[in-house]
Amino acid sequence: MDQDVPVVYVVDDDASIRIAMDSLIRSLGFRAQTFATASDFLQCQPRGVSGCVILDVQLPGLNGLDLQRELKQADIRLPVIFVTGRGDVPTSVRAMKAGAVEFLTKPLEEPELINAIHEAVERDRAAREAEEAEQQELETAARIQQGLMALTAPQPGFATVAGRNLPCAAVGGDFFSAVTVDDDIIVSIADVSGKGIAAAIMASLLQGMIHEAVLSRVPLADIARSANEFFCVRDLCAKYATFVIASLRPGGDLEYINCGHIPPLIACHSGVVARLCESNIPVGLLPSAEYASSSAKLCPGDRITLVTDGVTEAEGPDGEFFGHERLEEAAGRGMSPDELITAVRLFCGDRPLNDDCTVVGMVYTGRGARR
């Protein structure tokens, strides 16, 4: 029989009922699998299979309601039809509140059972189609977001720029960008609070705001004030953002603004690493906040490293953070964004990322700079 045909699982300790239901289910054009106990059913691992479960309430060992809870905890989303020989109102209410499609009392009326099976299978089909459509939307959103960060970095002659983003989910709240404006190279990195679609939408909006403001030569402090106003005056579910914008001139003059973000690191050619510690509060927290930019001077060979806190807060197998010390060591060794992301992944081992990781590196070469 076609493997795409839905499966109706029957869990009942009465052999005669299992035989009768097996015959009925097959006559409806579905596949059937029957089990005498809940533990037998769980051992079959019904994942990725469409259909439903007909489940007796009174089972030896793990009862039907307990099995329903186990399925939910295991993220097995097959719709459940309960059957019982001793139905009572509290039990039926509990089952329906937990998501059961129907609660039927033995002896079963065949038309009623057939209708319940069709309803459950249809509910499962609709849920799977909706989940597939949502997954396709997420994949499209992820491609768009990664496309916005597909950094064909401008290389102005006096500096080189590279960036890398590693989201912990399909979409996330980090972004980075790099543009040349007149003679300057301007990079930005940001992290919007939260994860998922809401954070990704806010990150895209913030990226667009910063990009347009930078191209229009809006002062860095004014960019921060505008972003803060945008976040504060709207109902954005308590979203806020941290970011750094750094503008480097051909002569090595660096202007930057840090809004609550991890301090940028400057590693000189000797490997000595310094933090640029001047900072403002994140945007979106205080409507009346004031923002100011700061400056630094780079020498040829100096490297700037910008990261989001997904890097420093990445956890190893024992729960230890990657941390600022490892980050500074990596910056001092001149790691590129790709190399730093690789170092984070090796540090995490089999442990999944708990936040998006974004790295931007800029090296001031001085070559081609006007004297």
Q: In the prediction, which pLDDT does 64 show?
A: 83
Q: Which domain holds residue 360?
A: 149-364
Number of domains, the chain:
2
Stated length of the chain: 371
Q: In the prediction, which pLDDT does 10 show?
A: 94
Other CB atoms within a 10 A radius of the CB of residue 342 amount to 14
CATH at residue 301: 3.60.40.10
Same domain assignment for residues 155 and 127: no
Q: In the prediction, which pLDDT does 73 show?
A: 84
Q: In the prediction, which pLDDT does 138 show?
A: 58
Same domain assignment for residues 226 and 355: yes
Same domain assignment for residues 245 and 269: yes
Kindly report the backbone phi and psi dihedral angles of residue 253, in degrees, each rounded to the nearest multiple of 5, phi listed first: -75, 125
> Of 138, 162, 189, at which residue does a domain stop?
138
The string of pLDDT tens digits covering residues 107-119 is 888 999 999 999 9
CATH at residue 90: 3.40.50.2300
User: Which residue pairs, CB below 8 angstroms and at least 24 apart, start in 218-225?
Assistant: 219/293, 220/245, 220/247, 220/255, 220/256, 220/257, 220/293, 221/257, 221/291, 221/292, 221/293, 223/257, 224/257, 224/259, 224/280, 224/283, 224/291, 225/289, 225/290, 225/291
Give the C-alpha separation, 97 to 298, whole Å: 64
Q: In the prediction, which pLDDT does 324 show?
A: 95
What spatial distance separates the first Cα and last Cα of the chain, rounded to whole Å?
Answer: 79
Establish if 181 belongs to a structural domain: yes
Same domain assignment for residues 119 and 14: yes
Contact 172, 203 (CB under 8 A): yes
Amino acid letter, 165:
N
The string of pLDDT tens digits covering residues 315-362 is 999 999 999 999 999 999 999 999 999 999 999 998 988 888 899 999
Q: In the prediction, which pLDDT does 75 show?
A: 82
Q: In the prediction, which pLDDT does 142 show?
A: 57
> Of 91, 110, 138, at which residue does a domain stop?
138
What DSSP assignment string belongs to 150-195?
Answer: -------SSEEEEEEEE-SSSS-SEEEEEEEETTEEEEEEEEESS-
Contact 9, 42 (CB under 8 A): no
Listed as ranges, residues in the chain with pLDDT below 50 are: 1, 89, 370-371
Same domain assignment for residues 86 and 191: no
Six-digit token string for 334 = 């001149």
Contact 12, 83 (CB under 8 A): yes
Same domain assignment for residues 110 and 200: no
> Of 88, 112, 138, at which residue does a domain stop?
138
Same domain assignment for residues 243 and 323: yes
Cα dihedral across residues 113, 116, 122, 124: positive or negative: negative
Q: In the prediction, which pLDDT does 67 show?
A: 86
What DSSP assignment string belongs to 321-345?
Answer: B-HHHHHHHHHHTT--HHHHHHHHH
Establish if 261 belongs to a structural domain: yes
Same domain assignment for residues 82 and 178: no
Q: In the prediction, which pLDDT does 197 show?
A: 74
Same domain assignment for residues 200 and 343: yes
